[in-house]
Amino acid sequence: MQKQVQQYDVVIIGGGLAGLSLAIQLVRKGFRVILFEKEVYPFHKVCGEYVSKEAWPFLEALGVPLSEMRLPIIDSLLLTAPNGTAFKTKLLLGGFGISRYTLDYELYKIAKREGVVIKEGSKVEDVVLDNNQYHVHYSDGSSTRSEIEARLCLGAYGKRSNLDVKWKRSFINSKERRLNNYIAVKYHVAGIKQPSIIGLHNFENGYCGVSEIENGKYCLCYLTTAAMLKKAGGQIRELEQNVLSKNPVLASVLKQSTHENDFPVTIAQISFSRKTWVENGVLMLGDAAGMITPLCGNGMSMALHSSKMLALFVEQYLKGVIGFDQLVSLYKEQWLKAFGGRMQMGRGLQRFFGKPILSNFFVGLFRLFPLLARPVIRKTHGQPF
């Protein structure tokens, strides 16, 4: 007798901020939701770990007790050029610091408690859409593959996955090499004393963000090209000593820092190229739909916000109020309205910063004319949602 395949309303691939927060919202609306995550919670993830305050009310509504967690509030930006020129300014809205290790785990616990079925340590191998039914094939570390069926499948698996390669998504083979070949390195460190400040330190072909997270620790996360790492012989330490440390401010930060255990955490083949909204019948959100450049510092808020706007349209689709094409159209319209300007600004900034001459010029210009920085900061932040 053939084993019956389990049925769900929604399957979500990826258990980061976008996937978990969407799962919580949908299960609260009465839908049967299953979520796949290839890692096992809690775990560290490469991320700048600064969250704009625009996301605060939404996270608390989901059940994350931010007000009780004594998180560091960040209200100032320190921008430095490769030559050490520094510019400091107040952030109009500001944000707070929290590690992905903590925030993702909080959302995971809420999702489990609310009734989301979570498959940790499981990797989705393929999704087949047949007669309006999604057949999701996955493995959990064993040699056997399993299958579930769902009415809708959503991709929230982050920057890059095996599915992107399998489906030959356009950004995988993008010719935009300037925006398509990055690596990122993250540490949690002690020894730094820069409360209330997010530091953004430029160096040749890259930049490093430094900001406080919970328990007095700091997140130190930098982005550079794969070519720069190759030039350093593939050695992260050599890259930091010979490239990052040419910025005297960043050199001082690195010298003060004491690395926590389990670090660094790294990721390669990062792409900021434009991405498609739907692939193989799967609708994307979070970084899977489009990754904002770290210079905008709002990827975490964008992931959360995209889940909120999508939850409403998914509910309408599952209740038969709208069709799939209308679901995609409405989501795309709202996504572009909320994030289109930020994405464009981010890509523009990405082309300038990391180039020593231009970076030195722009930071020097901001020092002379501080008001010029305000519209840039304003365009990279949103409003509370």
Give the mean pLDDT of 50-72: 96
Alpha carbon distance 155, 283 (integer Å): 6
Alpha carbon distance 270, 181 (integer Å): 6
Residue 39 lies in a domain: yes
Of the pLDDT bands very low, low, confident and very high (cuts 50, 70, 90), residue 366 is confident
**Prior bond to 356 cis, omega within 30?**
no
Q: Please state, in angstroms and as integers, the Cα–Cα distance from residue 92 to each residue in 139, 202, 381, following that order.
A: 46, 22, 9
Alpha carbon distance 308, 299 (integer Å): 15
CATH code of 126's domain: 3.50.50.60
Confidence at residue 83, expressed as pLDDT on a 0 to 100 scale = 95
Confidence at residue 289, expressed as pLDDT on a 0 to 100 scale = 74
% of the chain surpassing 70 pLDDT: 89
- Judged against a pLDDT cut of 70, whether residue 350 lies above it is answered with no
Reported as a single tens digit per residue, the pLDDT across 195-232 is 999 999 999 999 999 999 999 999 999 999 999 999 99
The pTM of the full predicted model, rounded to 2 decimals, is: 0.92
Residue 384 lies in a domain: no
Of the pLDDT bands very low, low, confident and very high (cuts 50, 70, 90), residue 1 is very low
Alpha carbon distance 312, 323 (integer Å): 13
Q: Look at the chain and count its residues.
A: 385
Q: How crowded is residue 205: how many other Cβ atoms within 10 Å of its Cβ? A: 18
Structural tokens at position 332: 């795309």
Q: Which domain holds residue 63?
A: 6-379
Residue 42 lies in a domain: yes
Residue 329 lies in a domain: yes
- Cβ partners under 8 Å of residue 15, min gap 6: 35, 36, 37, 39, 41, 104, 108, 118, 120, 156
Pairing of strands 117-120, 33-37: parallel
Reported as a single tens digit per residue, the pLDDT across 273-290 is 677 888 889 999 888 876
Residue 23 lies in a domain: yes
**Alpha helix (H) residue ranges in 10-62:** 17-28, 56-62
Structural tokens at position 296: 């905008």
Alpha carbon distance 114, 108 (integer Å): 10
**With 0-12 CB in 10 A as exposed, 13-18 as middle and 19+ as buried, what is 42?**
middle
Residue keyed to tokens 């039914």: 133
Count of the separate structural domains present in the chain: 1
Residue 247 lies in a domain: yes
Residue pair 378/297 in contact (Cβ under 8 Å)? The answer is no
* Backbone φ, ψ for residue 124 (5° rounding): -75, 125
Residue 195 lies in a domain: yes
Confidence at residue 352, expressed as pLDDT on a 0 to 100 scale = 65
Residue keyed to tokens 């910025």: 247
Confidence at residue 145, expressed as pLDDT on a 0 to 100 scale = 86
Residue 1 lies in a domain: no
Confidence at residue 286, expressed as pLDDT on a 0 to 100 scale = 80
- Cβ partners under 8 Å of residue 231, min gap 6: none
∠ CA(364), CA(213), CA(51), 5° rounding?
70
Alpha carbon distance 88, 154 (integer Å): 40
Confidence at residue 10, expressed as pLDDT on a 0 to 100 scale = 98
Alpha carbon distance 196, 72 (integer Å): 7
Alpha carbon distance 248, 83 (integer Å): 7
Give the mean pLDDT of 173-183: 64
Alpha carbon distance 62, 52 (integer Å): 16
21-25, 29-33, 371-375: which has the minimum mean pLDDT?
Answer: 371-375
Of the ranges 13-27, 135-149, 298-312, 334-348, which is most confident?
A: 13-27
Average pLDDT, whole number, for the chain?
89
Pairing of strands 86-97, 6-13: unpaired
11 half-sphere exposure, CB direction, 13 A CA radius: 28
- Judged against a pLDDT cut of 80, whether residue 178 lies above it is answered with no
Burial of 304-313, coded b for 16+ CB within 10 Å and e otherwise, reads bbbbbbbbeb
**With 0-12 CB in 10 A as exposed, 13-18 as middle and 19+ as buried, what is 135?**
middle
Q: Please state, in angstroms and as integers, the Cα–Cα distance from residue 230 to each residue in 78, 133, 225, 234, 315, following that order.
A: 29, 45, 9, 5, 47
Confidence at residue 379, expressed as pLDDT on a 0 to 100 scale = 65
Confidence at residue 84, expressed as pLDDT on a 0 to 100 scale = 95
Give the mean pLDDT of 178-184: 73
**β-strand partners of 155:** 13, 284
